[in-house]
Structure 1
Amino acid sequence: MNRRQLPIASLTAAWLATRALMLWLLAHNTAPLLGRGAVAREVWRLYFHWYGHLSHGAFPAHDTLWQYPPGAGAVLLAPGLLPGLTYFQGFVALTLATDALIAAVLVRAGTRPGRSLLGAALWTGGLPLLLHIPLARYDVEVTALSVVSLLTLSRSTRACGTFAALGALVKAWPALVLLGTPRGRDTRSAWTWAAVTGSACLALFAGLFNNPLAFLRQQGSRGVQIESLGGTALSLARHGGWRGSVRYQYGAMEFTGPYVSAVATVSLVLTAVAFALLLLWRWGHLLPAPANSKTRRSAPRWTEATPYDAALCAVLLFTVTSRVVSPQYMIWLLGLAAVCLTSRHTAQRPVAALVLAATAISAVVYPTLYGEVVHCTWPGSLLMLLRNGLLASAAVMSLTRLWRSTRPTPAQAPPVTETRTGSALLADRALSTS
């Protein structure tokens, strides 16, 4: 085995060992520290319930827990198509296969000239920090579409846009991966193919299923989840005398009581501000100066890593400002951070480290000490403060580093050459000979 093959073999062995451990945890998920069966229950009770609706050609329109775009229906139907397996077994098998695909794509990208296997290592070692949660959620499939979209950008903008659109149809956030596409033809091509693919798939879902857009009705009713940044503020407020409570609604544990609606509104405003900052970066840094501009500046410092960095930054900002920050959201951030680390030009290495730390704490929050978080005890509140503090720091750092890494620098003015008249030259000669 040569030196080039050794890291790949090591990553393969690490993937097999860690995924075997994750399967073992899933098989023993009824243990108190592993959630007492709540993690796996999401699949065999909720997802399987939705599968029954979808297999009859309709989305669960009147189910308040259905809050996902129509593409999620295709993912939830797939496990039932595998012969010889129960729905739960098929779901886990497909998730593991998708996880392996992500690892393989990251390895392939990391072995290209000038690239790094650090991204594959981050994904292989980072995902098990969430214990068995990734195997019982379909966020791995969504992340795979985003990872493939970004890594195909340099070879095919059409494929990039297509995969981004497919991801956005499953969960909306993959649309953000197109934020950092290079200006000009590449952006037009990727965004056009995303729009065409999204429109065609929506038309297909509308023709095959009833109520494909029912999820929009449920999204607007969501409150402040206890694991969000706003939820952390309310959890700490409980220790200061705030008289709110925690209730299970819309598929999550949410706060109810005075000022909760105000906190939700602040979260939405912060999301709008984050979007405005991303647009300002996009149009201020990636567009050339106007032709009639008197300001001289060089071209933006765009590299192969810029689309990766922009995707991670955008999803981080939207995650931190969201009213819902479930532990499986960390799967998205791990996948995008891994893509960033495949490039030696990325500016997001410290951000990836913060994401990794926040991922480890997320597993302590849920399922290990979730009861502490639900009851807003001091350990639970401080755990959420630490996890969300790391995420907020990562978001601010990510935006700052993205902004600086692509900021155009003032162009050097050409050297000024002094024009001497003939009489001036004669006078200089006379002085030099005197």
Structure 2
Amino acid sequence: MKGPRAAIAVWLLTRAVLLLSVFSVFRLPGPDVTTDISVIYRGWYEVLSAGSYPLADVTWQYPPAAAYAVLSPGLLPFLDYAHAFFLLAFASDAVAFGLLVRAGGRPGKCLSGAWVWIVGLPLLGPTAYARYDVMVTAVAVAALLAGVRHPRTLGALAGLGALLKVWPVLLLAGTRRGRATRRSWTAAAVSGAVVLGACAAAMPGALAFLTFQRDRGTEVESLGALFFHVVRHLGWEGEARLNYGSVEFLGPYVPVVSALALALTAGAFGWLLVWRLRAREFGTTTLVDAAFVAVLLFVTTSRVISPQYLLWLVGLAAVCLVFRGSPMRPAARLVLVATGVTLLEFPIWFSHVVDSDPLGLLLLTVRNGLLVAASVSAGRVLWRRTVTEPRLREPVPVPAQPVRRADLTPAAPADEPATGR
């Protein structure tokens, strides 16, 4: 693997390309992904600046601390809102990259994680900078890298991240039992409560996102959507159209498939609970491995696999591969390939996905199949490393031998012959 200088050079080159893309110096085919920032985020910014959450906008489906990300371009008032946002996304990317490079230079670590981050973001295209997920992922990367030695820092950052976009709470899935779990989980609860209280006190409507998120259906890029992409060609009477801020399927059986997706997510979390109860050994990488598996399962089973969700997985895969000999390398490779396919699916050929034509169906089948394969691979490795192998290494107890009566007869002294009487 190349040294830090090569990593920095490639990072700068790829990020220059991303910035040129979001600044519209050149554009990829398909819909303009930056309009979410210049139109939707900008609209939220105006409402939030006026002192309220967007209570009348069903597309506001984010926890209350997301308001900080939306308001952050106000830190650069001399720039257009969208341009300021892109630069702050770039800065968040730089922070995550710097943390990965620094961690990779320590004993027992390597730069593989930094290279996953370098490659992963460009594979997602301009979407990486045109959503606030890169900011949340930077918080998650910092939390996991610090959490190996500092459970309270892990918990505090996970609590903050959960109030930004919920999923960082899953970073706590693999904390070592005992003091580390108590410290990290308590810190997360305190951090989350403080941030939530501050948001609720600052303006009304902090929890409005719960209702808007509950009413979402099956988004056209999700695993469950594959069913509707197929049955559309068999006479299904539904349609795909913009709903709750994304293109979803609407029509017969959609509520059933959405409920099945939620049940699948619940089943995945049930597996995680069983794993945590049965895990016998929490090694050096268990914390980061379990976080990667938990978020991977959450994304794969979600009703909404938006393109930016892949950014979460790239960040957590990068943290895993900071550790030499990481068992998550196969799953990380699958995630990187899935990220590249996602760029083809959105935005380049998104119209084919919406139309459920053969190309769109192929792209979704490959991308979602890669996510399923990564989930199975990562889950099996985590179970084997922490449940199966430690059990096999445990010593087998030797049953006690029955005591014979003859063994109770004292032996004659060595210098006196036995008399036989």
**For the superposition of Structure 1 and Structure 2, which TM-score range results when normalised by the shorter chain?**
over 0.9
| d(CA) in 2 for partners of 1:342, 1:216 | 35
AA aligned opposite 2:11 = W
Matched, 1:280 2:266: no
TM-score with structure 2 length normalisation? 0.93
Which consecutive unaligned segments of at least 5 residues does structure 1 have?
A: 286-299
Q: Counterpart of 1:247 in 2: which secondary structure?
A: strand
**Structure 1 residue 242 displacement after superposition:** 2.2
How many residues of Structure 1 are paired with residues of Structure 2 in the alignment? 407
AA aligned opposite 1:111 = G
**Structure 1 residue 362 displacement after superposition:** 0.0
CA contact (8 A) 2:20 2:26 kept: no
Structure 1 residue aligned with 2:321: 341
**Structure 1 residue 424 displacement after superposition:** 10
CA contact (8 A) 1:146 1:177 kept: yes
1:421 is matched with which residue: 407, 410, 416? 407
| d(CA) in 2 for partners of 1:139, 1:34 | 22
| d(CA) in 2 for partners of 1:154, 1:336 | 14
| d(CA) in 2 for partners of 1:56, 1:177 | 34
Matched, 1:16 2:12: yes
| d(CA) in 2 for partners of 1:376, 1:302 | 45
Q: Residue by residue, what CA displacement relative to the aligned partner does 1:385-407 show, whole Å, maximum 9, x if unpaired?
A: 11001101111111111111101
Q: Residue by residue, what CA displacement relative to the aligned partner does 1:9-42 show, whole Å, maximum 9, x if unpaired?
A: 00000000000111222233774x4334x20100
Task: Calculate the aligned-residue CA RMSD, in Å.
Answer: 1.9
Q: Counterpart of 1:248 in 2: which secondary structure?
A: strand
Q: Residue by residue, what CA displacement relative to the aligned partner does 1:103-129 show, whole Å, maximum 9, x if unpaired?
A: 110111111101111000000111101
1:34 is matched with which residue: 29, 32, 36? 29
Structure 1 residue aligned with 2:395: 412
Structure 1 residue aligned with 2:147: 153
Q: Counterpart of 2:247 in 1: which secondary structure?
A: strand
Which consecutive unaligned segments of at least 5 residues does structure 2 have?
A: none
Q: After the TM superposition, which residues 170-249 of structure 1 pair with which residues of structure 2 at under 5 Å, given as runs?
A: 170-249=164-243
2:161 is matched with which residue: 134, 142, 167? 167
Q: Quick one: structure 1 residues 27 and 82, their matched pair in 2 at CA, closer, same or farther if it must change by over 3 Å?
A: closer
| d(CA) in 1 for partners of 2:153, 2:332 | 26
| d(CA) in 2 for partners of 1:425, 1:22 | 88
Q: Counterpart of 1:60 in 2: which secondary structure?
A: coil
CA contact (8 A) 1:29 1:39 kept: no
Q: Quick one: structure 1 residues 29 and 398, their matched pair in 2 at CA, closer, same or farther if it must change by over 3 Å?
A: farther
**Structure 1 residue 415 displacement after superposition:** 5.9
Matched, 1:143 2:125: no
**Structure 1 residue 241 displacement after superposition:** 2.9
Which deviates more from structure 2 when the two are superposed, residues 79-88 or residues 302-311?
79-88
Q: After the TM superposition, which residues 7-406 of structure 1 pair with which residues of structure 2 at under 5 Å, given as runs?
A: 7-28=3-24, 31=27, 33-36=28-31, 38-285=32-279, 300-406=280-386
Structure 2 residue aligned with 1:291: none
AA aligned opposite 1:187 = T
Work out the percentage of aligned pairs sharing the same amino acid: 45
| d(CA) in 2 for partners of 1:34, 1:79 | 27
Q: Quick one: structure 1 residues 55 and 226, their matched pair in 2 at CA, closer, same or farther if it must change by over 3 Å?
A: same
CA contact (8 A) 2:65 2:163 kept: yes
**Structure 1 residue 301 displacement after superposition:** 2.8
Q: Counterpart of 2:241 in 1: which secondary structure?
A: strand
Q: Residue by residue, what CA displacement relative to the aligned partner does 1:37-65 show, whole Å, maximum 9, x if unpaired?
A: x2010001000100001111110011010
TM-score with structure 1 length normalisation? 0.90
CA contact (8 A) 1:22 1:128 kept: yes
CA contact (8 A) 2:109 2:323 kept: yes
